[in-house]
Each structure stands twice: as structure tokens, then as C-alpha cells.
Chain A
Amino acid sequence: MSTPKDDAWLYTISSKHPLINLNLKEIWRYRDLLMLFVKRDIVTVYKQTILGPLWFVIQPLFTSVIFTLIFNNLGQIQTGSVPPFLFNLAGITAWNYFKECLTGTSGTFTRNQNIFGKVYFPRVIMPMSITISNLLKFGIQLSIFLCFYAYYAFQGTSLGFNSHLFLIPVYILMMALLGLGLGMIISSMTTKYRDLSVLVGFGVQLLMYVSAVPYPVSEAKLKFPEWVVPFVEYNPLTQIIEGFRYMLLNIGSFSWAGFLYTLLISFVFFTLGLIIFNKTEKSFIDTI
């Protein structure tokens, strides 16, 4: 029998695998699947509901109203010249994107074990599709925010974008990378240790409160006990939320150091997530 040279093989299934195996060529081959997953996620969520896609916007709007009532009316948190409702809506819109990416991807392995156990495709397609479909939802929510923005501006509130507005795509990327990275880490760990899936539920909720979503960082520095402040200040999510509001509402603070710090952290988490995800996908089906 002819023995072909090793380089003649298309690919090898083996127990050994490189640390980072982001096979872009293969992902590109599966791009249709990626888009079909995105479509599935978007289309099927609100099938057989009356309000349908309206649900995408109802949730952030109601949360903003509640936040305004509790934190601004009851809690007397100052938002400067910006209407508190708009302030909260901006924070929640940004936070929601991160949160949806995180919670969505963190269940990748446990939720898809049925498919993963039967068919091979680059596993990373799944978290990627979640990130993309959430990006669409984020787009819808952002446009609602802009509607209210226009409304307030029309009413005579002085509002203005900041000159750093061009960084918005980078901020969105950072949110996606952080959510995806953390989500991939958690989804990989939950294949063996189910505790994490319980943690994610309320952990995300708690994380929101130290990420400066319902308050500006300046208020936190002023009113929080001293030991809590670093948690808020060095939290990359605070940087993102604060930066997001800074650019859209011209409120809060911005520093290039903070920006680069957040960018770095996002990439670190994303890379780490990818490594762990890669390691897990090879044989998670045996442990799940």
C-alpha cells in the first residue's frame, strides 16, 4: 500500500493540540453557520409573542425608569446637567450588551451539549454567534437611546457628544471581548464544576453595582467607603460604562491611560478565554 507523506494529510485528529488553535480558515468555511445561528437566536426568541421584537427595548426602558426612581429620586445621586433617565439608559444599554454576551456565552457547553456531542464544527462559532446576535440587539437598544436623546435635546436640555465619540466602536469591541472572554472561561469551567453556572446568575447582578452603572464614578469616590473605591475605579467595566457615557453624554471623566488599560485587560481576558475554551472543547463531552 502506498504510504503518503505526512504533509499530504488534510488534518489530524489527535490528543495533542496547540495552545491557541483559532483556525480562522475553518471558521471562515463555517461562516454561513455563524450567520444562521445569529438568525436563529434573533428570530426564535420572541416567536409566539404579541410584542415580538418590542421586548428588546421594553426591558432597558423599564429598568432605567426603576433606576431613576430609586437611585436618583430616592438616592439623590447627581447626574449633572444630564437627565437621570438618559444617564441610566446609557449605562444600562452598554451594560446590557456586556451582560448578554457574558451570560449567553457562559452556557455554551452546557446548553449545546446535545449538538456538540453529535457533530463537529468549530465550537467557537457558538459564542461568536451569541456575541453577534447580541450586537444586533444592542444596536436596537442604542437607537432607542438615541431617540430619547433627540427627544431631550428637542425639549431644550443641553446635550452634546464628546469629541472622543470616534472611539465608540472600540468601546463596543472591548465590551464584546470582555463578555466573550469571561463567558468562554466560565463555560469551560462549568463543564466540570457546575457551581459556576449558579454564580453567574447573581454574580453579574452584583458586578453591575460595582461597575458604575447607576451612578457616575465621581459620586462613588465621594460617597463609598474607601476600601470599595478601588473596586469601582480599577474595574474595566467601570471604565467602559463611564467612557461610554462620557462620549455620548459628555459627562464624567476620560483618560487615555484608563482607556489603554481597559483595552489591554479586554484582550487578556479574550485570549485567556480562547485558550481555556480550546482546551475544553476537545474532550468536554466526556466530563459534562
Chain B
Amino acid sequence: MPDIILKAEHISKQYRLGLVGTGTIRDDLKRWWHKVQGKEDPFLKIGDVNDRSIKGESDYVWALQDINFEVEQGEVLGIIGKNGAGKSTLLKILSRVTSPTTGEIKTKGRIASLLEVGTGFHPEMTGRENIYLNGAILGMTKAEIRQKEEEIIAFSDCERYIDTPVKRYSSGMTVRLAFAVAAHLEPDILVVDEVLAVGDAEFQKKAVGKMQDISKGQGRTVLFVSHNMVAVKSLCTRTIVLEHGKVVFDGNTDEALSHYLMNENEIKTEMFWNEKDAPGNIKAKIKGIRLTAENDNFIIENKMTIEIDYINYLDNQTLNTTIAIFDVNGTHVLSSPDLSRNNLKKGTYSSSIIIDKDFLNTGKYLFTIYLIGNNFEVIAELKDVLSIEIDELGVNRKDYFGYWGGVVRPYFKWQTKKLM
């Protein structure tokens, strides 16, 4: 059975909201007084769950609350969560930048963290000098760096500039050099933040490849924190999902990803109205709209269905539903009207449309819905009424991890034939 190399027990972290400054002197004194008397810190009992969107009762919030997990030797553990879920706080605690409010983390190996590449780079020093300085900051000894110097320089593709001050480098070169140093760290446990989001596509591929080498080839324990689900999927064997400072899922990466996707907020996938308030006029009204995806996962690999329920108050009326899709920049992606010129009797109807998989790109989309009557009269217009964020599992990406632009991302087939 593999050894547990790192163990987190009841990790919590409390932050004070608002201004931290001289105003805290009163609380400091209160804390100190309780400590002198041998009592528990009075502020540990209070505090809200960390949810940005809800106004809390207290000035103190728990960025992390009772986090427990174990990491086995050689495991690549992914940590995912939305912005503000506590990922960065957990990283900071793991990398000993700050200490937890309660609980402890025990480790059997040395932890090196990569929360940022190029920490401590000095613009006046040359690339080579910075390799040494940065390497030492990350915990390498001079001898270790000397041993890897050539390898690092080769990996960075900055050979020609290596004895030039870093301030003359392009930002891309600085990042390459910095990542090259970081990639050659050899700690027992490596904690990585989203450093992969740097450089051009070619370099990103190199970076992910290097990460794979580190984790798979060299059997090192890696804790990988990311938004980039494609990278998490390809690297991690096990994944923890954080939400509002708590672990909500811990297990298999695929399950973790779908758990994470299901809990995505800032999306609105359905709306219903009472007949009285419903949008429309005396001819017809929209009762409800619904946007669903296979398995409730809005990802490129799943198709989506939009259903519109409406009431027709007149006999022999043409009622056509139309959708228009916009991206977050306001680009009109498409309109899809129903042009069937139907002839409906009184009653309640439901119309639906399917948006194929492998069609919309990743990102946020807004849906506008119309109900159109006779002579193209607009009976109801619901602007940007539904919104979704589309993610991806990366099935079609194969080995490509880079940027895949475009408003839509259909997966047309290529054909190759031999000409000569």
C-alpha cells in the first residue's frame, strides 16, 4: 500500500473583511486578553461561510473550513473550484506562505510551490544569474542548479540571451526562462498553481508535457490547482472539488469534473411565469423556458435542448418561436427562427430546438427568445433571458492544450488522400 506523504487535518482559515489596519487594534487586544486568560480566541467562533454574493452577518469569513485530505506518494492530485472557493488560500497554506487559523498539515517530504513563475527575478541581472537566484528562492542549492543549468537554458529556448539582463527580454522569454527553472525543481511534493496559462501554444504543450513527465515519469507527488479542466483531466488521477471553502467532492477526476460542472453558478437555465405576469399579450403568452443539456453538463461534448412553453389564446394563429444567441462580447452568434408558418388552435404548446454538440465554443453565451405571431408580429421578446457557461472535457483536443479560438467550434471532419 502506498505511503501517505501529506496529510491535512481540519485546516481552516479565517479572514477579516473590510479594512485591516489600525482599526484592528481593539480586536487584537481582545484576542490577546483571551489568550492571557487561557481562553479560546473569541473570533474563531464567529464567521460566515465564504460566499461573495451573499451579504454576511459578520466581518469575519472562513476562506477555508475544516479541510481534510491525504495524498499518497506519487499521486497527482487536482484541486478545482470556482473563483473564491478557497483554492489560493489552500495553496498559500500548503506552500507555507501563510499559516492556517486552525488545524495542521503534516508532510513527509519537502514541498516546493509554484504559485507564480519568475518569483524574485531581478531585471538588472542576466538570465543566467536569475536562474541561480530564482532556483535558490525555490529551494534548490547552487550545486543542484549548476548541474541542471544547461538543461534549463535549453528548455527555455533563450540560449542566445542568457547573458543579457532580463529587463531586455520580451515578456514571453521571461516566462519561458522562469518556467524552465521551475520545471527543473525536484522536490518531494510539488504544488502547482495555474502556471500553465502562460506562453504561446507551443510552449504550453511543452509545459504540460513536462508536467506529465514530472508526475508520471518521475513518480513525484504533485498537487495541481487549476481552472483548466483539460489539463486537470489529463494530469490528475484524483481531484478535490472546493466550494465556499469546503471540500464538496474528493475522488476520481472524471466524477469530480462533472460534480464541478453541475455546480457551476452564474448561469440561468430556466424561467417560469404565472399566467398573469407572463410575457406576451392577449394573443399569446410565454409560460416557461428551459435550457437543458445531457447529464445536466453544459460542455462542448454534450448537446443542449431549449424548450419554450406558451399559451395560445386564439384559434388559427401562427405562432413561431425563435432563439438568438450572443456571446459575452455581444457578438450575435446566430438566430434560429421557426419559419414553418403553422396554424395553431387555442391551447398550451411546447416547442423545442436542439443545439448540436461540438458547436458552441467554451465560454459564456446569452440566449434571447422571441415569440412571433401573424405577419411577423413580435408577441414577446425576452432579451438575454438565459445564460450558460460551456466547458469542455477535451475529448476532441487529443494532445492539444492551447487556445482554441472562435465563437463557434464545430468539429468538421478532415479528409486526407494521397495525391502522388
Interface centre among B70, B104, B140 (most CB of A within 10 A): B104
Interface residue? A205 (CB, 8 A): no
Interface residue? B98 (CB, 8 A): yes
Which residue of A is nearest B100, CB measured? A15
Pick out which of these stretches binds chain B: A30-38, A60-68, A71-79, A156-164: A30-38
Minimum Cβ distance to chain A for residue B221 (Å): 13
Also in contact, A9 and B97, with CB within 8 A (given A115-B120, A121-B137)? no
Interface residue? B139 (CB, 8 A): yes
Interface residue? A221 (CB, 8 A): no
Is the CB–CB distance between A44 and B108 below 8 Å? no
Chain A residue numbers with a CB within 8 Å of B316 are none
Cβ 8 A contact of A14, one of B100, B113, B115 = B100
Interface residue? A111 (CB, 8 A): no
Q: How far is the CA of A3 from the CA of B1 in the complex (A)?
A: 11
Also in contact, A120 and B99, with CB within 8 A (given A32-B136, A44-B124, A44-B125)? no
Also in contact, A283 and B99, with CB within 8 A (given A11-B107, A14-B104, A40-B122)? yes
Interface residue? A12 (CB, 8 A): yes
Interface residue? A47 (CB, 8 A): yes
Interface residue? B21 (CB, 8 A): yes
Interface residue? A146 (CB, 8 A): no
Is the CB–CB distance between A17 and B99 below 8 Å? yes
Interface residue? B236 (CB, 8 A): no
Interface residue? A116 (CB, 8 A): yes
Interface residue? B4 (CB, 8 A): yes
Interface residue? B24 (CB, 8 A): yes
Minimum Cβ distance to chain B for residue A104 (Å): 16
Interface residue? B106 (CB, 8 A): yes
Minimum Cβ distance to chain A for residue B14 (Å): 9
Chain A residue numbers with a CB within 8 Å of B21 are 192-193
In this complex, the interface size class of chain A, counting residues with CB under 8 Å from chain B, is 35 or more
Chain A residue numbers with a CB within 8 Å of B152 are none
Chain B residue numbers with a CB within 8 Å of A9 are 106-108
Interface residue? B3 (CB, 8 A): yes
Interface residue? A257 (CB, 8 A): no
Q: How far is the CA of A33 from the CA of B133 in the complex (A)?
A: 7
Interface residue? A8 (CB, 8 A): yes
Chain B residue numbers with a CB within 8 Å of A47 are 124, 165
A1-20 CB mask vs B (1 if < 8 Å, else 0) is 11110101111111101000
Chain A residue numbers with a CB within 8 Å of B107 are 9-13
Interface residue? A285 (CB, 8 A): yes
Interface residue? A22 (CB, 8 A): no
Minimum Cβ distance to chain A for residue B10 (Å): 10
Q: How far is the CA of A32 from the CA of B125 in the complex (A)?
A: 17
Which residue of A is nearest B123, CB measured? A44
Interface residue? B102 (CB, 8 A): yes
In this complex, the interface size class of chain B, counting residues with CB under 8 Å from chain A, is 35 or more
Interface residue? A286 (CB, 8 A): yes
Minimum Cβ distance to chain B for residue A11 (Å): 6
Also in contact, A43 and B100, with CB within 8 A (given A13-B107, A121-B139)? no
Interface residue? A114 (CB, 8 A): yes
Which residue of A is nearest B7, CB measured? A9
Minimum Cβ distance to chain B for residue A5 (Å): 11
Interface residue? B15 (CB, 8 A): yes
Q: How far is the CA of A283 from the CA of B126 in the complex (A)?
A: 33
Also in contact, A119 and B122, with CB within 8 A (given A4-B108, A287-B20)? no
Minimum Cβ distance to chain A for residue B33 (Å): 17
Q: How far is the CA of A15 from the CA of B179 in the complex (A)?
A: 31
Is the CB–CB distance between B137 and A33 below 8 Å? yes
Q: How far is the CA of A2 from the CA of B24 in the complex (A)?
A: 44
B136-164 CB mask vs A (1 if < 8 Å, else 0) is 11111110000000000000000000000
Chain B residue numbers with a CB within 8 Å of A223 are none
Is the CB–CB distance between A282 and B132 below 8 Å? no
Q: How far is the CA of A115 from the CA of B118 in the complex (A)?
A: 10
Is the CB–CB distance between B15 and A40 below 8 Å? no
Interface residue? A25 (CB, 8 A): no
B92-123 CB mask vs A (1 if < 8 Å, else 0) is 11111111111111111111010110011010
Is the CB–CB distance between B99 and A118 below 8 Å? no
Which residue of A is nearest B119, CB measured? A118
Interface residue? A52 (CB, 8 A): no
Interface residue? B329 (CB, 8 A): no
Interface residue? B22 (CB, 8 A): yes
Chain B residue numbers with a CB within 8 Å of A14 are 99-100, 103-105
Q: How far is the CA of A201 from the CA of B104 in the complex (A)?
A: 40
Is the CB–CB distance between B105 and A40 below 8 Å? no
Chain B residue numbers with a CB within 8 Å of A114 are 119
Q: How far is the CA of A11 from the CA of B140 in the complex (A)?
A: 18
Is the CB–CB distance between B101 and A36 below 8 Å? no
Is the CB–CB distance between B104 and A15 below 8 Å? yes
Chain A residue numbers with a CB within 8 Å of B24 are 192, 287
Which residue of B is nearest A35, CB measured? B142
Chain A residue numbers with a CB within 8 Å of B92 are 117, 285
Also in contact, A2 and B136, with CB within 8 A (given A15-B102, A119-B115)? no
Which residue of B is nearest A34, CB measured? B136
Chain A residue numbers with a CB within 8 Å of B70 are 1
Cβ 8 A contact of A119, one of B4, B15, B99, B113 = B113
Minimum Cβ distance to chain B for residue A53 (Å): 15
Chain B residue numbers with a CB within 8 Å of A32 are 136, 140-142
Can you list 29 contacts pairing A with B, beta carbon distance less than 8 Å?
A1-B1, A2-B4, A4-B108, A10-B109, A10-B110, A13-B93, A13-B99, A13-B104, A14-B104, A29-B141, A32-B142, A43-B124, A47-B124, A114-B119, A116-B97, A117-B97, A118-B97, A118-B113, A119-B97, A119-B115, A119-B119, A119-B137, A120-B95, A192-B20, A193-B21, A285-B92, A286-B15, A286-B20, A287-B20
Nearest 3 CB-CB pairs, A to B? Answer: A14-B104, A120-B96, A33-B136
